[in-house]
Amino acid sequence: MTESTLSTETTAYDGDPVFELHRGGKMAIAATASVSDKASLSMAYTPGVARVCTAIAEKPELAQTYTWVPNTVAVVTDGTAVLGLGDIGPAAAMPVMEGKAVLFKEFGGVDSIPICLDTTDVDEIVETVIRMAPSFGGINLEDISAPRCFEIEDRLKEALDIPVFHDDQHGTAVVTLAALMNALKLTGRSPESTRVVISGAGAAGVAVAKILLEFGIKDLVLLDRKGVISSTRSDLTASKKAIAEVTADVTGRTGTLAEALDGADVYVGVSGGTVPEELVATMAEKAIVFAMANPNPEIHPDVAHRYASIVATGRSDFPNQINNVLAFPGIFRGAIDVRASAITEGMKLAAAEALAALVEDELSETKVIPEPFDPRVGPAVSAAVAEAARVDGVARA
């Protein structure tokens, strides 16, 4: 069957605007060099290209100037944790990875290639990405299930000298922190005196916990389906045990969601579960609720507003959308601009601070974070990240 036949084949989805948008994919490769005559052909390809190849062979760093590599990111998944759909496999994950690549380009000016791997083996994923790495200036891991995603990211960060970033973890964490910075300001709280409850101990929950600790939150617990994650439990994975030691173990908190929420200042939901209204009612005065499960928040905003001063979700049809697109394009843009060898905790904190500062003059209970289409977002985040990379000593340009 030919390519043209594939693109025009009649299906049951004809006429559906979503499917029509996706017909043939959402992206394409475009040339930046014109090849219109023999002279341009001889420069773009043989024999002229051999001069560039030889120069790079002698000085590999020239690839940063004379190829697209430094401005190109691999968007890598194994299809095991796609959006709210779960383990749907690499083929079904491709529309999401294409979408991610489009967002990279539209919001950060970063080229990216979606790569869906037909393996869920940690060793195979790590080895495959390492072997591909010379073709890219950064690696964006996407929709890989926990706890495997933690090991994959850690091993790739250790093996590679280019930025490795798991957006489900760190993109979510950066935007959550930015919104929380402003929410604390509005409610007159300091990080040191704020009590935070995070429901969901997957990739996003653990990353949010870590960045909040870096920010200065002292009293924080994570919960999974069995309750507070503390070392008093005997069923913890390695990643859960590690996060327990710096969260619930510090304060000695244990128990159920009901016990954790009683008197809590902040609720962060990244679990996809449901929190009963009577539990929300037990939170502190001027509570802050970030119910980020999509499409159904753990606490519906209308319910949350009965008890909370500030409410955020992951949805675009309510105020205060916690959207990763506010973070990852600018983070990679900033890292690429200074040829960063890694993305540090300082760079993530700088991104959050830059996002929070953008709404300083219009800060309100319904605006603690910029809108995704705010044109200031990408430049502000990339500039802050680039400067933080220099401060942290990972910038090479």
Q: How many C-beta neighbours within 10 Å does residue 252 have?
A: 8
What's the pLDDT tens digit per position in 54-84? 999 999 999 999 999 999 999 999 999 998 7
DSSP secondary-structure letter at 216?
T
Closest CA to 103 of 275, 328, 384: 328
**Residue 66 annotated among the catalytic residues of the structure:** no
Residues 6 or more apart whose CB falls under 8 angstroms from that of 249 comprise: 230, 231
In the three-class reduction of DSSP (H, G, I as helix; E, B as strand; rest coil), residue 36 is classed as: coil
Residues linked to residue 290 through DSSP beta bridges, in sequence order = 268, 312
Q: Which residues of 144-169 are buried (b: 16+ CB within 10 A; e: fewer)?
A: bbbbbbbbbbebbbeebebbbbbbbb
Confidence label for 133 from pLDDT (cuts 50, 70 and 90): very high
Of 13, 38, 66, 100, catalytic:
100
Rounded Cα distance between 323 and 315, Å, is 8
By the 8 A CB rule, do 266 and 221 touch?
no
State the pLDDT at residue 9: 61
**Residue 38 annotated among the catalytic residues of the structure:** no
The model carries a pTM of 0.92
**Residue 38: is it exposed, middle or buried by C-beta count within 10 angstroms (0-12/13-18/19+)?**
exposed
State the pLDDT at residue 7: 52
- CA distances from residue 115 to 75, 148, 239 in whole angstroms, order as listed: 6, 18, 26
Question: Is the confidence at residue 159, as pLDDT, over 50?
Answer: yes
Tokens at 387, concatenated: 């400067």
What's the pLDDT tens digit per position in 199-222? 999 999 999 999 999 999 999 999
Whether the bond between 147 and the residue before it is cis, its omega within 30 degrees of 0, is yes
By the 8 A CB rule, do 117 and 152 touch?
no
Tokens at 314, concatenated: 């992951």
Strand locations in the chain (E): 72-77, 111-116, 138-141, 164-166, 195-199, 219-224, 227-228, 266-269, 287-291, 308-313
Rounded Cα distance between 42 and 90, Å, is 39
Confidence label for 272 from pLDDT (cuts 50, 70 and 90): confident
Of 13, 26, 45, 267, catalytic:
45
Confidence label for 4 from pLDDT (cuts 50, 70 and 90): very low
Q: Which residues of 304-341 are buried (b: 16+ CB within 10 A; e: fewer)?
A: beebbebbbbbbeebbbbbbbbbbbbbbbbbbbbbbbb
Residues 6 or more apart whose CB falls under 8 angstroms from that of 211 comprise: 170, 173, 174, 176, 177, 345, 348, 349, 352
What's the pLDDT tens digit per position in 116-128? 999 999 999 999 9
